[in-house]
Structure 1
Amino acid sequence: MVEVRAVQLNLTPDGIEIILEMVDGKVPQVFTSSYDQTFLADITDTVLHLPEGSEFHSDNPVEGITSVTVKSVDSNHVQLTVKGAVEVPTVEVKPSERGLIFSVILPSKTAVVPPDTPLEQESEIPPVIEPQIDAEPTDEGNKDDIEQVIIGTPEIFPQTSTPVYVIPQEEIQKQGANSAAEVLRGLPGFAINDVGFGADIHTGTYYRGHSINQSVFLLNGRTIGTNISTYHGATDLNSIPVDAIERVELSSGTSSTLYGSEAFGGVVNIITKQGQEVPQLNGLVEYGSFDQSNYRVSYGGSSGNFNFHLGYEEYEASNRYRIPVGAANRDSEGRLFNGDTATSNYFGSVTLELNSRNTLSLDAYKISSRRGLLYFGFPLQRDRLNHDALNVGLSWKTELGSSDNSILRTTLSYNQDYFNTYGPTQQIFYRTGTLNSEAITARVEHQWSTSANNQLTWGFDWQNSSLNGEVLSTNPQLINLNETENRERTQIALFALDTWRISKTLQAELGLRQNFNSEFDSYLNPSIGVRWNVNRTLAMRGSWASVQRNPGLDQLYVFDTVHNWLPNPDLEPETGSSWTAGVDIEFSENLIGQLTYFGSHLDNRLGIRNGKWENIGLVNTHGLEVALRWNITPEFSTFFNYTYTDAQIETGLDKGLQLGLIPYSVGQLGIGYSSAGWEVNLLASYYSGSRRALFNNPGEINTDFSPSWLNLDLSGRIPITRNLGLMVYLENLADVSYEKANRIYQPGLTFRIGLQSNF
């Protein structure tokens, strides 16, 4: 397997030169073709390992060429696309000691004047970092010929004041993830209890000690979170279609200025797939333990200035596995009861390039999820949860002025989440609760490079959200709480984030977000960040952000008939601040690390007290986050993530205790091999145990912790043909059942096996 480590664009007198730098100068086989105005080069037995990101892209690198793209098609196939403005470019391919050189010759064969703005991988706004200019003459006999070298990925780390973690499509495939929750499990800082077998949304998803409602979740840069805050009404990561995901980006700090003041934890942006130059059909059929079945199909392509990507995904599992005495929802046969799940998802996107400076995009997904609830399984919990969601977003991107240093994005979106829980109360009474949440959101964002050393991102958000809540119980003691509630809320925010490069090594960020809320008036949340590049291999960074999260409409107004929790219209917002400090280190060309201290001060935290939502007090969180990546050889790579979280309750009866369901330590160690379509990946996961805060068995107290556990998973891909592979996953190699969180158990050794294709 040949590894591409960097992409360079060199402007030449005849056009442009594209260099794919390869390890040890190895040269793979190249197959060329063309269609419309596009030249294609398919490079086999090759993997793309750029220092940052999973794709190189450059728009309008020179007159006559509209775009150059280098990306991974699958685990052993890299594709170069050169799109001409009026006709197929003429391209000569030749090997060199550095790798492969693609010389693009323009029809006029006239000298090319280098553009004013250097190109950067996936960078629509010229970065404040100076471009790398190679002033070495290209010919010893002609000292006047200066070659401008445009580096596709000049930076190992994002030039930000907080760490930015990215999981690309290739890593998602290696994980064998069946949900967005499983994808996020591989990121530093996350402790995800409700994932995999026995996944139950009550056990929670936490980032740096904060619940899923205290982070912001985006789809292609727009909010997808609901205005519901009860456990079963939060963002349902187990239902988001994983086959639609191109990559996942995780950020924090000053990102809260741009995307929401409620980001105590962080901002998760899920980027979906777009159509590719060559039409491609992808499919997956997979079966596994406990009646697992997984079907995926997607098709994407382009025609002229139009591209598209459409897909469907379906997953089912009965989850009827044996669990020990004391586990939640253990039936008379000693098996998990009511743990079945079924999801089906439709997703798609279309993009139309109106002209060289205007692009229109539309994407949508439709989710249908049916599952049982487990967490309160004493006696057997029989409640069911139906979740239906629809999200549609329309975006218009335009380049203002005569250059690409000013970009305006306008987005309009609609989001609906329908949650319905229902079931008998100990087979005596019947109860049902419905939360139907809708939101219409508009966003205008302007990214403006005001100078070579300054970039300003500013704009406004507007959202109108509504909630229809219906409560019905046949319990005589609760009939008086049966009701229908219709509530709505309007939120407007003005935001501005300025990034100023003070010197060649020092960068500062200053953000302001002014919020106007129809229920909680107006409030200002500032943020600051700083980054100091000590040298080429070491950088220090830090950030601070003021945050506020308002109570959900359900917490304020709707009785929770499943948990018997009363609403409280007098709730106050959660307020406080979060901060980070850390270093980015390039130990060697193939080994990089990020070390981050994080903390937060959260006052008026929302929780349940005596069966009613209340502001229960203060929580201080401190922690440490470690992320290491090492590309040992072109075939072998490894990573290590570790997070320590001390989330301590400072007031009330639980003063001095760790927040429930949040472990002190989580860690992951993975090692992978990839060559010629063969893949083997070994993943070790560690969880230190978490406090059992609610619904304890007789003899247990709320200071007890669940036991720690260590899990090993093995996955692999066996190529059958160039376009067809056999996928194998073995989970829990030790074959030992363990308590994942608060009496929810993982079964012993399980398997999944399937066929994956792309044509």
Structure 2
Amino acid sequence: MVTATDNERQLSHAPASITIVDGEQLRRRPVNDLADALKDTVGVSLENVGQGRRGISIRGMSGEHTLMLVDGQRISSSASAIAHSDLELGWVPAEAIERVEVVRGPMSSLYGSEALGGVVNVITRDATDHWAGSLSSYALANDHGLGGNQYKNGFYIGGPIVPGQLGLTAWGEFRQRSMLHDATDTALSALDRQRALTGHLGLSWTPDSRQRIDLTADAVNEKQAGVHGGSRGVPYRSENEIQRRRYAFSHTGDWNWGTSRVRLYRSTLDRQIWRSDGDDASGPNRFVDTVLDTQASFRVGPIHRLTVGGQVRRETLEDPNVNRKGKQSQNHYALFVQDEMALGKHWELVLGSRVDRHEDFGWEISPRAYLLFHPTERLTLKAGVGRGFKAPTLKQLSPEFESWAAMGGRGVIRGNPELQPETNRSFELGAAYETQSWSASATFFHNDVRNLIDTVRQPACFVPGRVCLAYENVARVRLQGVELTGGVDLSPRWRLDANYTYLDARDRVSGGPMPDRSRHRANATLAWKPLASLSTRVQLEYIGAQQRADEAGKRPGYTLLHWYLDYALNRNLSVQVGVENLSDKRLANDDLALYSRADEGRRYFVGLKAQF
């Protein structure tokens, strides 16, 4: 893994709480985006961000507090520009994923803003010395005739153009989901129709044994459409057309004194929106994020490995509501240092800190310390403390920003240039034990989150009949709990893996529990491989009761059960079948007042994969 220190390390020596999700496992089941890929990961939950879309929440933090990376390069949250957006979850198709590294806990000491809850780093498949590729296709059909069916086709290819010098990677994907109709009113959509086309081209040049240069270009074109209930009780149709682009250049060097890296990359997001009722739309939008970063890593004596680096980032938003000009920009500057110390045979200590300079609110310092103790080769004890932060968005900081879409069109939200960053002070203590046939781990975590930004109702409003709100630093939250994981080979053909998360989430202003957060979550997978060419598994997903945000009691807990089967027809071709949600829990699609997000119910999966 690389995410915890930005240097390669064995997982057992990672100075953080990390889960690695294997890309090959993802290609064996239906995965529409990263939310599907990580939903059964310990410490991770999927939060509702509105209009059926999801965010990745780590240890009860908001999805906007999880920083997304692709090969270590930041993908800024699209929600900073577009309400109810989860577009950062769909940059890389499962066909192109080597692995996903999930770091639970603040990582602002390396990655800066937005990493106060954790980091999700998608590592893509790399070109090898021999040509290799794969094709996959699947269909997912629902049981109730209300739509929501999915179709997906993808490919990956990579190999040498000039052996030993120039490599090529390319991938593409087409995915489509039909609109899922609301069971109580089939004229409305519980989940929007979605159609996305993704493409990637990358070149890797190694002019000599010490240097590597990478050039990549990614493009995603996506359309979303749905029918929603309007503020006046009249349904309206909305359509979104989104274009995302990403370009990156990087140079890495492996020298006598150490290693170096320089990267320059840019991501753009353009959205056009249309509403059939003619009400104000929150677009068109254009969001541009440009980053230049550099770092060097080298050893100082037999104990220390130092990594130093810096980053310059500029983000620009074009939005009709952000200010009178319809355009706002801000610059970020950062320096960081990290020291990985080997304290004898059994002890390791990692110290790091990053200093960020924001042109509006000034300096932010994000220190981190992590201690590892290996009393035996199989047992690892860990303890860490850290601080993370999230800078206010361009809209939140703009004194001229106004949104007239709040509270179903009844409210007006204004920006606040006096906002301060949201912060998290975190502590964790853990132990892990691993043998050839079984493994187990336990981690206690505590997050003290302050200055959370929320919309606060103002005593008077400048528009008669409306409610005026403003962004303010008001909320304080304590999030603490325990994460347990375990796996065991029951026999040469049977294996059981499970995880459990206990979360105590409390609002320290009101003293009450935080809404929309389950106290108990658990996942388990029982796998059986009767033949070399045949394997099957049953997955259980339990989500405990949640306090509702409207203070109308609790949402009851529920259990989802999934079954999958893989059969290799030959060394190059395999087929996958399965049934998701065997017990047919439909959640919000049967009772919108009870659950926050619709589930399609029982659905049938069939897929085909070819590789060469």
* Pair in the same fold by TM > 0.5: yes
Moved more, 339-348 or 630-639: 630-639
Alignment of 1:459-478 (within 5 A): 459-471=309-321
Distance 2:74 2:360 in 1: 20
By how many angstroms is 1:607 displaced? 1.4
- Tell me the amino acid that sits aligned with residue 543 of structure 2: Y
Matched position secondary structure for 2:425: strand
What percent identity do the matched residue pairs reach? 20
Pick closer, same or farther for the CA change 1:657–1:342 going to 2, 3 Å. farther
Distance 1:687 1:126 in 2: 34
Distance 1:704 1:373 in 2: 30
Query: Partner of 1:692 in structure 2?
Result: 548
Larger Rg computed on CA atoms: 1
By how many angstroms is 1:296 displaced? 1.0
Pick closer, same or farther for the CA change 1:490–1:722 going to 2, 3 Å. same
Query: Partner of 1:409 in structure 2?
Result: 261
Pick closer, same or farther for the CA change 1:126–1:452 going to 2, 3 Å. farther
Question: Of 543, 551, 558, which aligns to 1:709?
Answer: 558
Q: CA contact under 8 A between 1:307 and 1:351: conserved in structure 2?
A: yes
Distance 2:500 2:331 in 1: 39
Alignment of 1:115-154 (within 5 A): none
- Tell me the amino acid that sits aligned with residue 204 of structure 1: G
Task: Summarize deviations over 1:634-679 as a string: whole Å, max 9, x none.
Answer: 543332121122221111xxx1233332222222101223443323
By how many angstroms is 1:313 displaced? 0.5
Query: Partner of 2:192 in structure 1?
Result: 339
Question: Of 525, 532, 537, which aligns to 2:366?
Answer: 525
Matched, 1:733 2:582: yes
- Tell me the amino acid that sits aligned with residue 484 of structure 2: V
Pick closer, same or farther for the CA change 1:164–1:744 going to 2, 3 Å. closer
Distance 2:91 2:391 in 1: 25
Distance 2:482 2:491 in 1: 29
By how many angstroms is 1:414 displaced? 0.6
Q: CA contact under 8 A between 2:133 and 2:155: conserved in structure 1?
A: yes
Matched, 1:502 2:357: no
Distance 1:374 1:665 in 2: 34
Q: CA contact under 8 A between 2:47 and 2:63: conserved in structure 1?
A: no
Q: CA contact under 8 A between 1:261 and 1:525: conserved in structure 2?
A: no
By how many angstroms is 1:301 displaced? 1.6
Query: Partner of 2:463 in structure 1?
Result: none
Distance 1:284 1:438 in 2: 32
Residue-pair matches, total: 576
Query: Partner of 1:398 in structure 2?
Result: 253
Q: CA contact under 8 A between 2:243 and 2:270: conserved in structure 1?
A: yes
By how many angstroms is 1:377 displaced? 7.6
Matched, 1:312 2:172: yes
Matched position secondary structure for 2:27: helix
Matched position secondary structure for 2:320: strand
Pick closer, same or farther for the CA change 1:321–1:497 going to 2, 3 Å. same
Matched, 1:215 2:66: yes
By how many angstroms is 1:716 displaced? 1.6
Q: CA contact under 8 A between 2:43 and 2:104: conserved in structure 1?
A: no
By how many angstroms is 1:285 displaced? 2.4
- Tell me the amino acid that sits aligned with residue 580 of structure 2: E
Task: Summarize deviations over 1:686-722 as a string: whole Å, max 9, x none.
Answer: 11133332xxxxxxx4243222110011112222232
Pick closer, same or farther for the CA change 1:422–1:597 going to 2, 3 Å. farther
Matched position secondary structure for 1:213: helix
Return the TM-score normalized by structure 1: 0.71
Matched, 1:178 2:25: no
Question: Of 231, 241, 256, which aligns to 1:386?
Answer: 241
By how many angstroms is 1:245 displaced? 1.2
Question: Of 386, 394, 398, which aligns to 1:545?
Answer: 386
Q: CA contact under 8 A between 1:408 and 1:447: conserved in structure 2?
A: yes
Tell me how large the CA RMSD over aligned residues is.
Answer: 2.8
Distance 2:107 2:166 in 1: 31
Pick closer, same or farther for the CA change 1:160–1:239 going to 2, 3 Å. closer
- Tell me the amino acid that sits aligned with residue 69 of structure 2: L
Question: Of 282, 297, 305, which aligns to 1:447?
Answer: 297
Moved more, 552-561 or 310-319: 552-561
Query: Partner of 1:536 in structure 2?
Result: 377
Distance 1:420 1:445 in 2: 38
Distance 2:417 2:79 in 1: 14
By how many angstroms is 1:228 displaced? 5.0
Matched position secondary structure for 1:158: helix
Q: CA contact under 8 A between 2:333 and 2:356: conserved in structure 1?
A: yes
Query: Partner of 1:286 in structure 2?
Result: 138
Query: Partner of 2:207 in structure 1?
Result: 354
Matched position secondary structure for 1:392: strand
Matched position secondary structure for 1:257: helix
Matched, 1:595 2:456: no
Distance 2:245 2:339 in 1: 34
Q: CA contact under 8 A between 1:644 and 1:665: conserved in structure 2?
A: yes
Query: Partner of 1:65 in structure 2?
Result: none
Distance 1:218 1:375 in 2: 32
Moved more, 363-372 or 501-510: 363-372
- Tell me the amino acid that sits aligned with residue 691 of structure 1: Q
Matched, 1:491 2:338: no
Matched position secondary structure for 1:602: strand
- Tell me the amino acid that sits aligned with residue 473 of structure 2: N
Query: Partner of 2:46 in structure 1?
Result: 192
Distance 1:482 1:214 in 2: 25
- Tell me the amino acid that sits aligned with residue 121 of structure 2: N
By how many angstroms is 1:235 displaced? 5.3
Query: Partner of 1:580 in structure 2?
Result: 428
Moved more, 604-613 or 368-377: 368-377
Alignment of 1:650-689 (within 5 A): 650-651=508-509, 655-674=510-529, 675-689=531-545
Distance 2:556 2:225 in 1: 25
Distance 2:35 2:514 in 1: 21
Distance 2:504 2:415 in 1: 29
Query: Partner of 1:723 in structure 2?
Result: 572
Alignment of 1:23-102 (within 5 A): none
Return the TM-score normalized by structure 2: 0.87
By how many angstroms is 1:519 displaced? 1.2
- Tell me the amino acid that sits aligned with residue 624 of structure 1: V
By how many angstroms is 1:406 displaced? 0.9
Distance 1:357 1:498 in 2: 24
Q: CA contact under 8 A between 1:525 and 1:547: conserved in structure 2?
A: yes
Task: Summarize deviations over 1:536-595 as a string: whole Å, max 9, x none.
Answer: 222211111122211000222333344353322332211241221111122x32211221
